[in-house]
Amino acid sequence: MPRPALWQSIADTLRAEVARGHYCPGDRLPTEAALSARFGVNRHTVRRALAALAAAGLVHARRGAGVFVAAKPMDYPLGRRVRFHQALAAAGHLADRQALRLETRHADARERAELGLPEGAEVHVYEGVSLADGQPLALFRSVFPAAALPGLPAALARTHSVTEALRAAGMADYTRAATRITAKTASATQAAALRLPVGAAILRTEALNVDPAGLPVEFGTTWFAGDRVTLTVAPD
């Protein structure tokens, strides 16, 4: 029986060490140089072993940071009153957001249709990255009717929370009226922001939130890293 190739033997060894808990989800593996020295092989052989583990979904590389053990996907519920920070806290994760864009501009045709706005209406646009325990979980874009919520940008800049900003604008409650989920692949810019390979699987959700009277207040698009989240749909 032929002996396994060196790269396969290295991959099997690392896979077994992850299974035994030597490296836990989120941990960084030793560098290529360290693994080359440990196994007495060149870096090309180590890279092939790591590529095999990545293809199996066991590890993922972050540009400039190293190779990390993949975390198990977290459940993220899509309900009528799901709030980002509350959902992550309930699952035992620390939630955070990094704002990338906050501006007021003219609404495009899709945004006008979703929010029920006339031609020429303006919207507030809030974009950024949602993080769980410091790791990017999703990119988001939220669009709000500017005329109905004139003070929203200042509140978003202060709180980085849609729920808190809407509360500050006088809206104590809002609910999700509809959600569309589509499987996509990450573009170069999306992959960079989410620390994913270009072309990696992502899940895009498009959601419409309404106030207690049923009027649209937010049209949101979110791109979730496909290997880090499992979307669950359940009534509240």
Q: Residue 41 belongs to a domain with what CATH number?
A: 1.10.10.10
Tell if the pTM clears 0.85, that is, is over it.
no
Compute the average pLDDT of residues 91-114.
93
Compute the average pLDDT of residues 182-201.
90
Share of the chain above pLDDT 70, in %: 97
In degrees and rounded to multiples of 5, residue 12 shows phi and psi of -65, -40
Compute the average pLDDT of residues 33-53.
94
Compute the average pLDDT of residues 51-67.
83
Q: Give every CB contact of residue 150 below 8 A, 6+ residues apart in sequence.
A: none
Does residue 96 or residue 117 have the better pLDDT? 117
Q: 129 and 39, same structural domain?
A: no
CA 114 – CA 107 distance, rounded (Å):
10
Owning domain of residue 64: 6-69
In a domain, 1, yes or no: no
The pLDDT value recorded for residue 79 is 83
The band of 214, judged by pLDDT with boundaries at 50, 70 and 90, is very high
CA 150 – CA 13 distance, rounded (Å):
59
In a domain, 149, yes or no: yes
Compute the average pLDDT of residues 182-206.
91
Check if the beta carbon of residue 44 is closer than 8 Å to that of residue 32.
no
Q: 87 and 65, same structural domain?
A: no
As for how many domains the chain has, the answer is 2
The pLDDT value recorded for residue 8 is 92
DSSP of 124-175, one letter per residue? EEEEEEEEETTEEEEEEEEEEETTT-TTHHHHHHHH--HHHHHHHTT----E
Q: 78 and 60, same structural domain?
A: no
Task: List, for residues 132-141, the tens digit of each pLDDT value.
Answer: 877 789 999 9
Give the residue from 69, 99, 124 where a domain finishes.
69
3-state SS class at 86: helix
CA 35 – CA 45 distance, rounded (Å):
10
Q: Residue 133 belongs to a domain with what CATH number?
A: 3.40.1410.10
Q: 65 and 118, same structural domain?
A: no
